[in-house]
Structure 1
Amino acid sequence: MDAFPQFYANYKESIMKIVIAADSYPPDVSGNAIFSQNLARGLRARGHSVHIIAPSPVSRPYITNVAGISEHRMRSHEFAYLRGLTLSVPWEINSTVRRILQGINPDVVHVQSHLSVGRVVCKYANELGLPLVVTNHFTPENLLDRISCCVPKFIGKLLADMAWWDLANVFQRADRLVAPSPAAIAVMKEHAHLGGGISISNGVNLPVYQAAAQKAEKDPIPHLLYVGRLEKQKHVDDIITALALLQPSTKLHFDIVGTGTKKEDLRRKAAELRVIDRVTFHGYLDDDALIEMYARSDIFVNASTGELQSLATLEALSSGIPVILANAVGLPHLVSPGVNGYLFQPGDVEALSDYLEDLALNEQKRKFMGKMSLDIAKPHDFEKTLDNYEALYRSAQEENAKVRQHLDAIDPDYVFPQE
């Protein structure tokens, strides 16, 4: 809570009505979707009234209640050139979003993305005078990975610049701006020119992963784990190349958890490099199976160049295993090199292979680094994340109330503009 004045710590007594708007929400599989659901469930468990506004997974709009959380699903479409991404079209959901916000009259609105639903929710939160908090989980690489056609590098740069400009145009309306790591704050400031951001970790349910790790039985052969989408920016092909560079006598098995458009390419690469017998593609795993996979693993690796934090890495730390991470964006703040793992420069497969060799051959070092990983995970406990967001919501409420009082003092007849 260092980022907040101390008196915010006392604001725990009142129950809030909270709207969380996301362009990706389960059954979608993404870090954004998982965080949004975790946040909704955590806030509901604390007694708050929580409403979700998100695209429908079945195209048609509907309203449902899941575990006490009201889900308002917007009409949506799958676009041929955006693989696996379902989006709502703003002009189709304008009146619906406005009606929902007016009907709920929430104490705070929390938007997770600027793309479609988030854009419309930001617009009407402003017009209705509602406190607005936004959290950015987006980097242009996330979107470019979804484009089905090959994009020349200069076109990709142009699209990335446009995406940052668009993000700034939407998120500058917020009362509070959040990102999951200090690096993510710096990225937004550099590319979107948005200052004043606050870093709040996406958080992780530490006790669940720790308990599973304590009960797990390890395989005699060390297991290396990757969890995430199988797309270009994740650079899982570099991990397979590094695996092939190990000494022939070094025993290490690579478990890949996740799905994506590069799965078959990765399988072919493993076959070409003659390590296919040392790689297992597990596909998508449910929560219980994934927690067990972390618990039984010995080393975690993430070669991605587009992570603003990385929920999967937090889960690995919470499971008490060493991590080997690319030195890019939000990953470096999750590793202390030589203490709980290693950093390598993106694309440097020789260095990655050396680190894999070192940990594969040294069980005692793995155990020591695993204990250090637990220490690094502690500040990211999800209960602290909930504390921080509750405090932030209430500070936004207070500021919004002061603005209303000021406007009323100037002009008692003033009303927030309606479309």
Structure 2
Amino acid sequence: MSRGHVTLLGDANSVHVQRWVREMQQRGWTLSLVTARPQPIEGVEMHVLRPVRRTSDWLFRVDEARRAVAALRPDILHAHYITSYGYLAARCAHPRRVMTAWGTDLLVSPWRTPWLRWLTAWTLGRARWVSGDSADLLAAAERLCPATPRALIHWGVDRSRFQPAPWAEKPALDIVSLRSWEPNYRIDLILEAVAQLAAQPGGLASPLHLHLLGGGSLASELREQVRRLGLSDRVTLHGRLDDAGMAAVMRRCKLSISVPLSDATSVSVLESMACGLAVMASDLPANRCWLAPRMLVPAGDGPGLGQRLMALAADDAALREEGQRNAERIARDGDRRVQMDAVDRLYQALMAGPGADRP
């Protein structure tokens, strides 16, 4: 018997939404999905909105979202990403709305104009609770709408799939980036740093290779940059891979690099840690919670990234030590099952409480 019916509003083609669906299905919930970016998900009834090409398009998807939610008649309406699907959820007449912030939707977008701040605050005010995966993300939610309850829930790691590989099986210096090929994630700086490392006098003690996972709108620009930097034999642009494909690549790697300009707790950072990789990342509040200060570089600092990478490349023992520490930290604090059990409890509490105490 189902515990209840949850309709998610979110991108069906997002691996994070897909994982959320699977985790909640495993806990006995019936899941459906309203999305502007469709992709089939087993066991999920899906209502597809017209495509969204500009931010303003979300304002014109309200009627479609309302009709979809009315047809699905869920017990709980849960929107992923506050400034898009969260807005649609806020415009739907439903007594149990909840929302999950992803990062930029609260850390960057609302602060661009007073009108966006007001709209985001209004959206949050329509939620029974909002979750986020880092303290700074929840602090932003509190600044915008202090009255809405908040829950610290990160995406967690499937430790049955993302596990450390023996260091002795990694003779080369393989580096991985799991971040999307979009402007915020500064893949261009990673390529420049790798080019700087590859060009150092005297060569490298071990072969060097960079694996770019993720895919995105900058694919052609990044391929051209690889060619221009003379890295064609040192870089593989894998694009989007499923969990098994990601784990297979990471088994070969010693170091993961994640240097966005803004971010909350990154699943790719946690998965890299779970695989026993050393992780270099932007010096952002969420990353400070997980990584040692020596592994952080100022966001957007290309020369600093290059210098730090060269220092680490020369110290295999330091890489191994960081990787071991990371795997131990995820085993202690990063298991996805623990995080999704918390969501399950929040859903159950919502079902047991008053059904219409919010407009």
Q: TM-score, normalised by structure 1?
A: 0.74
Shift of residue 167, structure 1, vs aligned partner: 2.3
Which amino acid is the alignment partner of residue 287 of structure 1? D
Structure 1 equivalent of residue 351 of structure 2: 397
Aligned residue number for residue 79 of structure 2: 111
Work out whether 1:134 is the aligned partner of 2:87.
no
Contact map agreement 2:102 2:132 (CA 8 A) in 1: yes
Corresponding residue for residue 261 of structure 2:
305
Write out aligned runs for 1:113-262 (5 A).
Answer: 113-124=81-92, 127-129=93-95, 131-140=96-105, 158=112, 162-190=115-143, 192-194=144-146, 196-210=149-163, 213-214=164-165, 218-246=169-197, 247-248=200-201, 249-250=203-204, 251=206, 252-262=208-218
Q: CA deviation at 1:118?
A: 3.9
Question: After superposition, where does 1:10-409 map in structure 2 within 5 Å?
Answer: 16-25=3-12, 28=13, 33-55=14-36, 57=38, 66-67=41-42, 69-79=43-53, 81=54, 89-101=61-73, 104=74, 106=75, 108-124=76-92, 127-129=93-95, 131-140=96-105, 158=112, 162-190=115-143, 192-194=144-146, 196-210=149-163, 213-214=164-165, 218-246=169-197, 247-248=200-201, 249-250=203-204, 251=206, 252-338=208-294, 342-378=295-331, 379-400=333-354
1:123 CA displacement: 3.6
Could you tell me which runs of 5 or more consecutive residues in structure 2 were left unpaired when the two chains were aligned. none
Q: What is the CA RMSD across the aligned residues, in angstroms?
A: 3.1
Q: Structure 1 residues 116 and 327 mapped into 2: Cα distance closer, same or farther (>3 Å)? A: closer
Q: What is the Cα deviation at residue 262 of structure 1? A: 1.9
How much does 1:87 deviate?
9.8
Gap runs ≥5 in structure 1: 1-13, 59-63, 145-155, 405-415
Shift, 1:331, TM fit: 2.6
Q: Whose Rg is larger?
A: 1
Shift of 1:42: 1.2
Change (3 A) 1:372 1:73: same
- How far the C-alpha of 1:36 sits from its partner, in A, is 2.1
Moved more, 179-188 or 214-223: 214-223
Number of equivalenced pairs: 351
- CA deviations on 1:267-313 (whole Å, 9 max, x unpaired) are 33333333343222122223321110111111000010222211111
Residue 37 of structure 1 and its aligned partner are, at CA, apart by 1.7
Residues 134 and 152, structure 2, Cα contact 8 Å, conserved in 1 = yes
Asked whether the equivalents of residues 226 and 255 of structure 1 are also in contact (C-alpha less than 8 Å), the reply is yes
Give the CA deviation at 1:171: 1.8
CA distance in 1, matches of 2:300, 2:84: 33
Task: Tell me the distance in 2 between the aligned counterparts of 1:271 and 1:49.
Answer: 48
CA distance in 1, matches of 2:253, 2:58: 33
Overall identity of the aligned pairs, in %: 20
Counterpart contact for 1:55–1:117, Cα < 8 Å: no
Residues 16, 48 of structure 1: 8 Å contact kept: yes
